[in-house]
Amino acid sequence: MSRFYFSLFLALFLFTLAAAQNARKGYFITKLGRDTTAVEEYASTAHELTGTAVSRSPRTTIREYKVTFDAAGNIIHLHLLTRLENGALVNEREYAYSDDSIVVSTRQDTTHSRSVIAVQGRPFPLFIDLFGPWEAILRKALSTGGKKFSLAARRPMHYAIEGHAPGMLELNNTDGDFGPIHATVGEGGELEKFDMTATTDKIVAERTGAVDVLALAKEFTERERHGQQLGVLSPRDTVRGEIHGAHIVLDYGRPAVRGRTIFGQVVPWDSVWRTGANAATQLTTDKRLRFGDVAVAPGTYTIFTIPGPDRWLLIINSQHGQWGTEYDKTKDLGRTAMKVRSTNEPAERFTISLTEEGDGGVLHLMWDRTEAFVPFRAE
């Protein structure tokens, strides 16, 4: 080997070694209450961010991402591959950036699709539970002295940053949508904790020591084979009852306690609650019902509640089929008081039931050690 090529090889080797030594690495564990829902590892340099995340719900999946940046730290390309532990493809996405748009190419099974998102400022896509990207977003915003950033979703999501790093930051969505989020950033700009308990997702991610995420993927998959899967976090359920000739159906999501304090924390006092999880809780009746002073004609409705320490309010709303956080007060049929009491036996999952009593019925809502209930009549 000539001296010139040897020198070139040595220079490239030293450059690669220096880049590797300057790479930031990190590991996160994500929990919902006491349950571990995901683990993640990532590595980041000035020009690249790579990571692997393993999610347990509704089944064990592995997401591998790679983000490349230009010299100014702007995204130019993002690749996200989701697969099972055995290598079977779930889906694959490519995000190609220009100054005013993102071209998204998606592959799932034998289907290929392509879409274009109009954007400004080359924002990251919204990945709620990938924390290597969240760290990169905050690092860039804070390093430029900025107090805001945007994410690409169905519509742009804009966040304002309150607080100073190192320390805890509050990330507020300026449209009052997904937030606030509380992020703790360390001395070196590392994301130490990402707390979403004030959002509808309720998860908390914390930095941890090195973990073998692929080994954990195998372990989680093996648990599934033996019936120990985490499954759907808030499975959907249906309650059917006949109350004095009225056929009533309630469709709702069933979140679990998971070791948390529910009312007053997970579900705040004196705020409108979707009364379940995920999509809105629906009530369908084929006869006229009356809850207190609220008359409900045959049809399908959404029910919301406002929990309080001593009394709840039941809200019956004419809109239906929407996500549970989409509450339009102008479509309320009315509100009526619910009684509340403590129970001896805790309900791990939120449970709705109907009972026939006297000349009417009672709607029961139970979760943890709390039961709220309201009588009604079929007319």
Q: Which domain holds residue 351?
A: 236-378
Q: CA–CA separation, 264 vs 274, rounded Å?
A: 15
370 and 242 in a common domain = yes
Task: Output the pTM of the full model.
Answer: 0.87
Which of 190, 222, 254 is the C-terminal boundary of a domain?
222
314 and 266 in a common domain = yes
In a domain, residue 15? The reply is no
What dihedral do alpha carbons 323, 328, 331, 334 form, nearest 10°? 100
289 and 197 in a common domain = no
In a domain, residue 2? The reply is no
In a domain, residue 231? The reply is no
pLDDT higher than threshold 80 for residue 8: no
> What is the tens place of the pLDDT at every residue in 27-49?
999 999 999 999 999 999 999 99
pLDDT for residue 146: 76
> What is the tens place of the pLDDT at every residue in 258-295?
999 999 999 999 999 999 999 999 999 999 999 999 99
249 and 166 in a common domain = no
pLDDT for residue 13: 47
175 and 133 in a common domain = yes
For residue 162, the cross-strand partners are: 170
249 and 135 in a common domain = no
For residue 294, the cross-strand partners are: 291
> What is the tens place of the pLDDT at every residue in 106-115?
999 889 999 9
pLDDT for residue 22: 63
200 and 104 in a common domain = yes
pLDDT for residue 17: 42
Which of 222, 255, 277 is the C-terminal boundary of a domain?
222
274 and 129 in a common domain = no
Q: CA–CA separation, 31 vs 243, rounded Å?
A: 41
In a domain, residue 337? The reply is yes
In a domain, residue 358? The reply is yes
254 and 208 in a common domain = no
In a domain, residue 10? The reply is no
What average pLDDT does the segment 159-183 reach? 91
pLDDT for residue 177: 76
pLDDT higher than threshold 60 for residue 11: no
172 and 59 in a common domain = yes
Confidence of residue 19 (pLDDT cuts 50, 70, 90): very low
What average pLDDT does the segment 205-231 reach? 95
In a domain, residue 142? The reply is yes
- Other CB atoms within 10 A of residue 236 CB: 13
Q: Three-state DSSP class for 136?
A: helix
In a domain, residue 18? The reply is no
Cis peptide before 298 (omega within 30 of 0): no
Cβ atoms 181, 199 nearer than 8 A? yes
> What is the tens place of the pLDDT at every residue in 138-169?
999 998 877 899 999 888 899 999 999 999 99
Considering the chain, what is the average pLDDT of its residues? 92
Q: Three-state DSSP class for 255?
A: coil
159 and 31 in a common domain = yes
Number of domains in the chain: 2
Which of 222, 256, 274 is the C-terminal boundary of a domain?
222
257 and 182 in a common domain = no
95, 313, 340 from 251: Cα distances, Å: 37, 19, 22
Instruction: Write out the two tokens for 51.
Output: 């990571």
